[in-house]
Structure 1
Amino acid sequence: MHRLVAAAVVLLLSLGAARAEDPYLFFTWNVTYGTISPLGVPQQGILINGQFPGPNINSTTNNNIVINVFNYLDQPLLFSWNGIQHRKNSWQDGMPGTNCPIPPGQNWTYHFQVKDQIGSYFYFPSTAMHKAAGGFGGLRINSRLLIPVPYPDPADDYTVLIGDWYSKSHTTLKYLLDSGRSLGRPDGVLLNGKTKSSSPLFAMEAGKAYHYRICNVGMKNSLNFRIQGHAMKLVEMDGSHTVQNIYDSLDVHVGQCYSVIVTADQEPRDYVMIASTRFTKYNLSATGVIRYAGSNKPPLSELPEAPVGWGWSLNQFRSFRWNLTASAARPNPQGSYHYGQINITRTIKLANSAGTVDGKLRYALNGASFSDPDTPLKLAEYFGVADKVFAYNTVGDVPPKNVLKAPIVVGPVVLTATFRDFIEVVFENHEKSIQSYHLDGYSFFPVGMGPGEWTAESRKNYNMLDAVSRHTIQVYPKSWSAILLTFDNAGMWNIRSEDWERHYLGQQLYISVVSPARSLRDEYNIPDNQPLCGIVTDLPKPAPYT
């Protein structure tokens, strides 16, 4: 009898522990304009609680993150969370296709869980051209204490936000694009909000190892990152532990994040971090200083040079491998360690192009250029009025034969994906500029890339064993990149160019993934505080999922 009672107590305790909610992190953000001078020229910036860049979010796997955003700008505003999967919860994605923006003078509270994720990410304002004015910051997800990471605890953990920058205001940049013109080349590169810093940004103590999280939060340019006199051990990218190769420099494409371990194994003095543009005719760079503790020696004048050519970058990509032996929250729960053994049920080819519509510049995928309707796509679908807002599958699975000369059609662009289908997506780049693509709500396996056009024969060279699960992938000029993933995260998800000019002018689309069960097992109900806009404003809410 005593054994039965003891067993019952243990069972009840275990059930209570299983039902206990994961920890909550609460934030209040006041979003305002403020004067900043990152390139030495005063300009209007977007500040969060008076900060540029915004505050760093430091969380742990499975934390619930609650952020109450007060919009004190004179324009509607949304934030999106680059790489956060929002399992069953595209309501929190923060893209104009899923959410109504926060009106000026009002607030809205984001609530999402960083479920089964670890790694380095960032957030940014997804409306208009606000990203060009700031409002971005780092978002890190630490592994739970019970789950070891494949490297010793570092002496400190640093976030490095790099990106190109324009000295014109976000309203001027938006006016240029709306009037049919291009933004042209950026005016500089920033590293943690500065183009050059004489005072140290980070400190290291001789003999100790440090964790640097490097994210490209810029507008259009791939950047090469390197540290004077120091090698970088790659340990994570876009939320996945990697095989720990050593690199002198890393090409970080727009939207991507890398984590490296840097050991302070050099003579105590100052050392320079450099972020410089790649694949451009112009050379722009930003620098920051790392200081060894107890030293006041200035850095050496000779700085490491960036690599040349995209062939070098392609070879670096091919050196990246997923660490299949590391214990961690799985950043790709919808995937499999054995993804190479899953049958592909569908192939989607997306080819980018540029052209004019009514005399104005537009960018497109498969000849279709996206434009936001007044009613967010997700809301229209949820309220059962999608047919009044958009049509499904308005862009085909295969681009026109000569996509560069195909006429561009403007409107909402939505593809459907069958729930839990394993799909191959091929990005074809027929242009001379490098492209970078991101998929919300998912991580995927980038299994291959190469020059020329993709064919079925290209699959013979796929990495079907240990491609690094990630959420953003580059496509080199006149080349292709292929990814594999299972569409099992129900919701409305954005596939976009991370070149924000191209994104703003239409190089994006949404994928609707609907669970036939219409069950809470697969997707959460609409939040009670969800703002409504467009034609759904006064409609009654549908019956909730159960």
Structure 2
Amino acid sequence: MGKPYLLPLIALIISPLCGFVQSGDPYLFFTWNVNYATLSPMGVPQQVITINGQFPGPWINCTSNNNIVVNVFNNLDEPLLFTWNGIQQRKNSWQDGTLGTNCPIPPGTNYTYQFQVKDQIGSYYYFPTTALHRAAGGYGPINVHSRNLIPIPFNSPEAEFNVLVGDWYSKGHVTLKKFLDSGRSLGRPDGVVINGKSGNEAPKWNLIPGKTYRYRICNVGMKNSVNVRIQGHTMKLVEIEGSHTVQNVYDSLDIHLGQCNSVLVTADQTPKDYAFVVSTRFTKTVLTTTGTIHYEGSNIPASTELPAAPGNAPEGIAWSINQFRSLRWNLTASAARPNPQGSYHYGKINITRTIKIVNSASRGEDKLRYAVNGVSHTDPETPLKLAEYFGVSDKVFKYDLIKDEPSADAEDHITIAPNVVNGTFRNFIEIIFENHEKSIQSWHLDGYSFFAVAIEPGRWAPAKRANYNLIDAISRHTIQVYPNSWAAIMTTLDNCGMWNLRSVSLERNYLGQQLYFSVVSPEHSLRDEYLLPEGQLLCGIVKDLPVPAPPPPPPADA
């Protein structure tokens, strides 16, 4: 195709809509028509989900505090939801787009998402959360820029490119879903795509010699971490998932499932073509694809000798852990801070609760299931958030089926049920992810940023806190956990709502490796959480129930 994945900015429009957001902040309006199309991401025709005829979908290009309104028309033959990976939606889990918070959009109907990118900057993406629709595409980039009065810690690049990379299956999402429903695994992906293409169709980016460009790279894949490198060039890391970083220079970067990194690349080499290389990590068979960086005015093709990736397991894991340790938050940069005021001094905040998360797999009744602390999550017909709001949660789920410290036999016995953890509003918590398996894991938390303070081999113990980075750990929303290793994060449960903590692996997520944090304000105040929006879809046992009366308004001095 030969063109960068840059789409025109949607016009800003001021509107009196959306009473739950600040009226003085600009609005961006989008209309999405979601359809199936026959495309060939891996060179084989298959059914792909497009938005307005595009795959990847339209670019949401906005600025901190903008209000986003997306009217989704579901033209598929199945219910549909989208989630906004990393967009925190303060006090507004109503728009999170997971099956625990929202009724799916029925076929042939539409639903309008309305949310604000409050106090955020950075690189994100959206994707469908229903069925196995993510295996059919339906994803696209979200860029949140700093407001003009807030300087960024690097010179403005000549241009920015969205690069959505990830593994891909040539089998359709319907077939893959049948595999999982029948007890089978998805198996190995068939290849890797860049912006929905591979091979000769992969993208080409045109660069002017001497200029610097920003590449926003997200791993939107389904199973594997990837390594990204550029033939003959280095990459200066400047942002990870909404946080400006210390600007280290790398020959290659590991980007794990669900993660987004921004790098600066300067066209300072001999004018010719260079390969942009993406390959899977920690896999027996390494899958590789390339895009092309093209210097304008040259006609010399890229060398066929591709730069090598760092070593694979086990030496590659040690290399990757060391790269994680080199990532640091840029504390001198001006930016919107999504965490509570002053929380960049997180190392001085007392931990009020420690939750250990242990992932496990089982083949109960000869069907594959994945679990968290012995509970394999299943989505009830009534979304958890709606059941809680309407006061009928006791008919839908039980709180705290899992314990903060998993029992010794939690990995051996799996319970299939909705998995909801009761979170105390404004508690500062520590979550330990302990991976006892041989494959790398990746976890994402909706509604929050957290501080990724440590990753180490072996098992966690309280004494390991001595090794935490309590000064400048990256504030982010996704964390990888290497085989037979652990990872520690810290966050403040200050965002009321029902928020999804999930494995980013599509297979693991679909088969139960996720849970929800229920965070409720003790005052049930509008200061802490928005009301059920008008026009919100209702389903399950709440479909015909009267909407509960709103709480009293907050005090005038709140």
- Asked if Structure 1 and Structure 2 have the same fold, meaning a TM-score greater than 0.5 normalized by the shorter chain, the answer is yes
Q: Partner of 2:258 in structure 1?
A: 255
Q: Distance in 2 between matches of 1:402 and 1:100?
A: 34
Aligned match for 1:370, one of 362, 365, 377: 377
Q: For residues 75 and 19 of structure 1, do their structure 2 counterparts lie closer, same or farther at Cα, with a shift above 3 Å needed?
A: closer
**CA displacement 1:180-206 (0-9 Å, x = unmatched):** 110000001001111123675211111
Task: Choose from 305, 318, 337 the match for 1:330.
Answer: 337
C-alpha distance in 1 between matches for 2:510 and 2:203:
36
Q: Please, which of 408, 420, 425 is the counterpart of residue 401 of structure 1? A: 408
1:519 to 525, 528, 531: 525
What pairs with 1:97-496 in structure 2 (closer than 5 Å)? 97-197=100-200, 201-308=204-311, 309-333=316-340, 336-404=343-411, 406-496=412-502
Matched residue, 1:539: 545
User: How far does residue 286 in structure 1 lie from its aligned partner after superposition?
Assistant: 1.4
Kept after mapping to 1: 8 A contact 2:498/2:517: yes
CA distance in 1 between partners of 2:455 and 2:336 (Å): 28
Contact (CA 8 Å) 1:275, 1:286: kept in 2 or not? Answer: yes
What SS does the corresponding residue of 1:358 show, helix, strand or coil? Answer: helix
Distance 1:139 1:333 in 2: 23
Partners of 1:271 and 1:289 within 8 A in 2: yes
Secondary structure, in 3 states, of the residue corresponding to 1:493?
strand
From 500, 507, 512, give the equivalent of 1:506: 512
Deviation at residue 266 of structure 1 after TM alignment: 0.4
CA distance in 2: counterparts of 1:199 and 1:77, whole angstroms = 28
Q: CA deviation at 1:464?
A: 0.4
1:72-97 alpha-carbon deviations (Å, 9 max, x no partner): 00000000000000100000000000
For residues 334 and 163 of structure 1, do their structure 2 counterparts lie closer, same or farther at Cα, with a shift above 3 Å needed?
A: farther
Q: Which residue of 2 aligns with 1:92?
A: 95
- Counterpart Cα distance in 2 of 1:498 and 1:423: 21
- Are the equivalent residues in 2 in contact too, given 1:200–1:291 (CA < 8 A)? no
Identify which range, 350-359 or 117-126, moves more after superposition.
350-359
Identity percentage of aligned residues = 68
Whole-angstrom distance in 1 between the partners of 2:280 and 2:423: 36
Q: Is the 8 A contact 2:193 2:202 kept in 1?
A: no
CA-CA distance at 1:331 after TM superposition: 3.2
Shift of 1:301: 1.9
Tell me by how many angstroms 1:323 deviates: 0.3
Distance in 2 (CA, whole Å) between partners of 1:539 and 1:223 is: 47
Indicate yes or no: 2:500 matched with 1:497.
Answer: no
Q: Distance in 1 between matches of 2:195 and 2:430?
A: 36
Letter in 2 for 1:352: N
> Does the 8 A contact of 2:66 with 2:116 survive in 1?
yes
* Contact 2:67/2:116, CA 8 A, preserved across alignment: yes
User: How many angstroms apart in 1 are the aligned matches of 2:363 and 2:549?
Assistant: 44
Q: Give the 3 Å change call, closer, same or farther, for CA 450–199 of structure 1 in structure 2.
A: closer
1:276-325 residue CA offsets vs partner (Å, 9 max, x unmatched): 00011011011101111111111122211111111000000000000000
Secondary structure of the corresponding residue to residue 197 of structure 1? helix
Residue of structure 2 in register with 1:63 after alignment: 66
1:91 is paired with a residue whose SS is: helix
- Structure 2 unaligned runs (5+)? 1-20, 554-558
Give, as a single letter, the amino acid of the residue that structure 2 aligns with 1:301. Answer: T
Contact 1:201 1:290 in 2 (8 A): yes
- The offset of 1:332, in angstroms, is 2.7
Measure, in 2, the Cα distance between the counterparts of 1:374 and 1:506.
Answer: 15
C-alpha distance 45-521 of structure 1, shift in aligned 2 (>3 A): same
Q: What is the alpha-carbon distance in structure 2 between the residues aligned to residue 511 and residue 215 of structure 1?
A: 25
Q: Which runs of 5+ in 1 are unaligned?
A: 1-17
Give me the whole-angstrom Cα distance separating, in 2, the residues matched to 1:420 and 1:465: 21
- Residue 400 of structure 1 deviates from its aligned partner by 2.2
Letter in 1 for 2:348: Q
Asked if the contact 1:116/1:333 (under 8 Å) is kept, the reply is no
Matched, 1:530 2:503: no
Matched position secondary structure for 1:420: coil
Shift of residue 517 of structure 1? 1.3
Output one character per residue of 1:244-266: Cα deviation in whole Å (capped at 9) or x when no partner. Answer: 00001100000000000111100
The amino acid of 2:447's aligned partner reads G
State the number of aligned residues. 528
| 1:357 maps to amino acid | G
Between the aligned partners of 2:337 and 2:525, the Cα distance in structure 1 is: 24
Confirm or deny: 8 A CA contact 1:335 1:486 kept in the other structure. Answer: no
**1:544 offset after TM fit, Å?**
1.7
Alpha-carbon separation, structure 1, partners of 2:467 and 2:372: 25
Q: Distance in 1 between matches of 2:283 and 2:443?
A: 18
The alpha-carbon distance between structure 1 residues 238 and 298, as it changes in their structure 2 partners (threshold 3 A), is same
CA contact (8 A) 2:202 2:290 kept: no
- Cα distance in 2 between the residues matched to 1:68 and 1:94: 13
The question of whether the paired residues in 2 share the 8 Å contact of 1:354 and 1:362 is answered with yes
Correspondence for 2:52 = 49
Q: Distance in 2 between matches of 1:334 and 1:282?
A: 46
Aligned mates of 1:72, 1:333 — CA distance in 2? 40
SS at the partner of 2:448?
Answer: coil
Residue 85 of structure 2 corresponds to 82
- Kept in 1, the 8 Å contact 2:400–2:420? The answer is yes
Does the 8 A contact of 1:422 with 1:487 survive in 2? Answer: yes
Distance in 2 between residues matched to 1:334 and 1:409, nearest whole Å = 40
Once the two structures are TM-superposed, the CA of residue 20 in structure 1 deviates from its matched residue by: 4.9
Supply the distance in 1 between the matched residues of 2:543 and 2:213 (Cα, whole angstroms): 50
Distance 1:266 1:302 in 2: 17
Distance, in Å, in 2 between the alignment partners of 1:328 and 1:151 is 12
Structure 2 Cα separation of the partners of residues 419 and 474 of structure 1:
26
Once residues 186 and 282 of structure 2 are traced to their aligned partners in structure 1, the CA distance between those partners, rounded to angstroms, is 17
Instruction: Please say if residues 194 and 202 of structure 2, whose CA atoms lie closer than 8 Å, have aligned partners that are also in contact.
Output: no
Supply the distance in 2 between the matched residues of 1:71 and 1:199 (Cα, whole angstroms): 28
User: Is 1:195–1:285's contact at 8 Å kept on the other side of the alignment?
Assistant: no
Is the CA contact (8 Å cut-off) linking 1:377 and 1:390 kept in structure 2?
Answer: yes
TM-score for both structures, normalised by structure 1: 0.95
Residue in 2 that maps onto 1:11: none
Distance change in 2, residues 1:210/1:513 (3 Å):
same
Moved >4 Å (runs of 4+): none
What one-letter code is carried by the residue in structure 2 that aligns with 1:85?
A: Q
Cα distance in 2 for partners of 1:52, 1:99 equals 24
Deviation at 1:518, TM superposition (A): 0.9
Letter of the structure 2 residue corresponding to residue 467 of structure 1: A
Contact 1:25 1:65 in 2 (8 A): yes
